[in-house]
Structure 1
Amino acid sequence: MALWTPDPTFYASPRDAASAPAERLAYVAAFDRAAEKPDAIAVLDVDTDSPTYGSVVGWTDLPFLGDELHHFGWNACSSALCPGSPHPHVERRHLIVPGLRSSRVYVIDTKDDPVAPKIIKVIEPDELAERAGYSRPHTVHCGPEGLYLTALGGANGEDGPGGIALLDHTSFDVVGRWEVERGPQYLAYDAWWHLAHDVLVTSEWGTPSMVEDGVVAELLLSRKYGHSLHFFDLRTRKHVQTVDLGDQHQMVLELRPAHDPTKLYGFAGVVVSVEDLSASVWLWHRDGDSWAARKVITIPAEPADPESLPPVIQPFGAVPPLITDIDLSVDDQWLYVSCWGTGELKRYDVSDPFNPVEAGSVRVGGIVDRTPHPAAPDQPLAGGPQMVEVSRDGKRVYITNSLYGSWDDQFYPDGVGAWMAKLDSTPDGFAFDERFFPNGDAFRGLRPHQTRLQGGDASSDSYCYP
């Protein structure tokens, strides 16, 4: 009689995750803006003792052109250990990789040969549209009863409402639309949850026609992009409450709930305020019997000579920070905030989530300054800290520089290039690892976007116990 044991990369608590062995590989989604070559999953060696440390050691091309890989996630994670999960013996082995432009979803197996992942299934756009009514899949989260796939568009691929599709854990078939009652939620972006409290939270960006060709100035200035958080009952799948952050706060993107399952708060990043081009981070929390949100971090725009700015922001005479990602360490102490416009990665101590304290900053890239990486001081960089991923123990922070093809072109019209960096983080500060700087030809002409770490990372897992 075989003894079933859970995947060893599932952790019951944040403490268990932080004490687990360090990752040795990183998987990075990379895309071809021209859609002349297939997008790919690049595999990077992140083992500091390896002779190929910091290099691309594996590569999996996709079979089609024009997918534009963006966000992706693991098929299973620590949420499988939570009470009531019907899938305690699944494995963290498959990457679920959506194409944001094509609406295809790839299932890629990393188990047999982790540096040569193999595509085992392709979910075509028709299946997603017919079974769930969605298109333009964006974010993947492994839940206790299946895979949650957020999508920006409705079945026609241009308009909304966007929402969440559920995929089967084993077959990876599209089960259907997750929402039973979506309430007023129409625009979509991210979704996360407080599993132990049966709460799901969603954020808002825009429909495909609002985002695919870049920022539409008329929509931005008329405050038409997303500016609300939505709260759902996770079990009944019904909308409970909307919290509007104010329509000046445009594009509410990444959601990072507390990892401690007993805590009912989380952070949301807002790209830009149309009043002053500042960016902000908001804290959602319980307020009596309802949900509330307050702005806890404001990052101002930086004045600049209009002649040095791309046309999209020349009239403003300033560089907006453009918060495009945030990431919360597994111990809930450090919040990393990427300012893609100014080329800055900030770190905040959020031990008191209502009163974050800035605790370090680095510069690399940026619309105006083009700050080089310390490993190549004579190489000005375009793009900036964009997607951020933090190791389970919080000691390593990985960043990539591309946001989204059409937006890259607007804000960096001379090109963003391709680079990735790593920072070493301690309680006393954080700084670049000069040994780790894959760039340029390392990505074979593709632009790197999101990173996932072998065995999980700070934005992959939900934990069942404090």
Structure 2
Amino acid sequence: MTEPIIDPTFYRSAADAAAAPPEELAYVVAFDRAAEKHDAMTVVDVNPRSDRYGQLVGWTDLPGVGHELHHFGWNACSSALAHEGHDQHDLSRRYLLVPGLRSSDIHVLDTQPDPRSPRVVRTISGKDLSDKAGYSRPHTMHCGPDGVFLTCLGGPEDDADGPGGIALLDHSTFDVVRAWETDRGPQHFAYDAWWHLNRNVLISSEWGSPSMIEDGVVPELLLGGKYGHALHFWDLAEGRHRQRVDLGPQHQMVLEVRPSHDPEATWGFVGVVISTEDLSGSIWGWFHDGDEWKVEKVVTVPAEPADPDRLPPALKPFGAVPPLITDIDLSVDDRFLYVSCWGTGEMKQFDVTDPAQPRETGSVRLGGIVDRAPHPARPDLPLAGGPQMVEVSRDGRGVYFTNSLYGAWDDQFYPDGVGAWMAKLDAGPGGGVAVDEDFFPHGDDFRGLRPHQIRLQGGDASSDSYCYR
């Protein structure tokens, strides 16, 4: 019997991932807010030794228009090594599964044989997703040992407002298999999901149903505490809901979940966009205590006073700019947490060696609703948008981010235009960050599209689950 070929980018441990050869390419989705041009998968050179460093070196138009490409991921990753002797069926980290948040179509891109020229090889229709799993508006995906878990904001096509949940896809054929949940308990809103693989626990978060987000933030719903404000803990193997932890209705929009990369750990972080009490953003940590899960606030980022004349209409009555924590990322070694403050234009770095007491160790500002802080490469160019989707390299030294959040929300908070740009920070081994002055794709580089999520060649800090220490 022929032994299965194990992809060299499947890493048994976080330490193996960090020690592997560094990425040379970044895959970045970009979308046309006007839905007139094709959305695209772009490829950026991230090899500092390359003469095309920081430039777009590949571009793949996706069929159709109006998808609003958002989050995407690999068909398979290190989680394929979850069980000793597991038959990988010659799986490899080869295909990118790229959902359209508005169209609900899922495009499959083959990154071989030329990683700079990914090819669309299949499209799974929104109807197929709805018919087989009962969901729409696919948002975030994580490759697991038994398939791809795809969180979806909406219910079926004829009842899009829910409940949202998780669709399971086959990571070899890409077929939609079914809804993952067997008992959802009180869960209704969906957003992100990830797990403690060796502990048989999945953690999911909440944003809002499609009608609550697709035209921007609805002030009445926000101030009424109607957006998601809870975390859910599930039996991973059975798809059964086990516990709901409510953070309080003032803590609106509980988004990115980032569990420890240590397979034996039972802690992680989640970001909360805004508090209706004081416009602050926050980071919460979860941990296992006896027979239950607990969640506690560990970081508060306050709003900043601002001249109302410099604020968009939605914020003028408050005279302040909220941080709007819209993404977080945890380095592969579980040492540093990065926090995107899209409203103020700040990217924060925290040392989380003690997860219960994060310690701020670095900060940079680019863009921001009020500051419009420029990139060092173009000090003459005020930037709109702010640090949003953040991705950390496996070795922890490169921190990449883009500036667009979501089309309708871009327009609401940056009504004069959000622009298009991508930046990179250099992170020191002991903490501290600095903007890489040689890395700044922006403007016409993206051909009028807005860049969003980033995936790195060979895996990154938010792609893989490691199974061994």
Q: TM-score, normalised by structure 1?
A: 0.99
Secondary structure of residue in 1 paired with 2:79:
helix
Aligned pairs (5 A) from 1:235-254: 235-254=237-256
Q: How far apart, in 2, do the equivalents of 1:124 and 1:224 lie?
A: 31
Secondary structure of residue in 1 paired with 2:141:
strand
1:129 aligns with 2:93: no
Q: How far apart, in 2, do the equivalents of 1:63 and 1:162 lie?
A: 26
Q: Is the 8 A contact 2:148 2:170 kept in 1?
A: yes
Letter in 2 for 1:390: V
Q: How far apart, in 1, do the equivalents of 2:29 and 2:87 lie?
A: 30
Classify 1:280/1:88 alpha carbon distance in 2 versus 1 (closer, same or farther; 3 Å): farther
Choose which of 338, 344, 359 in structure 2 pairs with 1:336: 338
Partner of 1:57: 57
Q: How far apart, in 1, do the equivalents of 2:327 and 2:112 lie?
A: 29
Q: How far apart, in 2, do the equivalents of 1:124 and 1:67 lie?
A: 11
Q: Is the 8 A contact 1:86 1:145 kept in 2?
A: no
Letter in 2 for 1:368: V
Partner of 2:293: 291
Aligned pairs (5 A) from 1:45-124: 45-83=45-83, 85=86, 87=88, 89-124=90-125
Q: What's the % identity of the aligned pairs?
A: 68
What whole-Å deviation, never above 9, does each CA across 1:346-400 have from its counterpart, x for those lacking one?
A: 0000000000000010000000010000110010000000000000000000010
Q: Is the 8 A contact 1:151 1:165 kept in 2?
A: yes
What whole-Å deviation, never above 9, does each CA across 1:303-343 have from its counterpart, x for those lacking one?
A: 00111100011111000000000000000000000000000
Larger mean Cα displacement after TM superposition, 255-264 or 155-164: 155-164
What whole-Å deviation, never above 9, does each CA across 1:31-56 have from its counterpart, x for those lacking one?
A: 00000001000000111111111100
Partner of 1:357: 359
What displacement does 1:87 show? Answer: 3.3
Q: Is the 8 A contact 1:140 1:149 kept in 2?
A: yes
- Show structure 2 runs of 5+ residues with no match: none
What displacement does 1:2 show? Answer: 4.7
Choose which of 218, 225, 230 in structure 1 pairs with 2:227: 225
What whole-Å deviation, never above 9, does each CA across 1:53-109 have from its counterpart, x for those lacking one?
A: 110000000111000000000000000011175536310000010000000000100
Secondary structure of residue in 2 paired with 1:129:
helix
Partner of 1:154: 155
Q: Is the 8 A contact 1:135 1:157 kept in 2?
A: no
Classify 1:398/1:333 alpha carbon distance in 2 versus 1 (closer, same or farther; 3 Å): same
- Show structure 1 runs of 5+ residues with no match: none
1:448 aligns with 2:464: no
RMSD over aligned CA atoms reads 0.9
Partner of 2:141: 140
User: After TM superposition, where is structure 1 displaced by more than 4 Å over at least 4 residues in a row?
Assistant: none
What displacement does 1:428 show? Answer: 4.1
Letter in 1 for 2:311: L
Q: How far apart, in 2, do the equivalents of 1:14 and 1:5 lie?
A: 21
Q: Is the 8 A contact 1:81 1:88 kept in 2?
A: no
Q: How far apart, in 1, do the equivalents of 2:87 and 2:226 lie?
A: 40
Partner of 2:36: 36
Q: How far apart, in 1, do the equivalents of 2:89 and 2:467 lie?
A: 12
Q: How far apart, in 2, do the equivalents of 1:11 and 1:159 lie?
A: 39
Letter in 1 for 2:153: L
Letter in 2 for 1:458: A
How many residues get paired? 466
Q: Is the 8 A contact 1:255 1:269 kept in 2?
A: yes
Secondary structure of residue in 2 paired with 1:276:
coil
What displacement does 1:236 show? Answer: 1.1
Partner of 1:174: 176
Partner of 2:216: 214
Partner of 1:199: 201
Classify 1:172/1:308 alpha carbon distance in 2 versus 1 (closer, same or farther; 3 Å): same
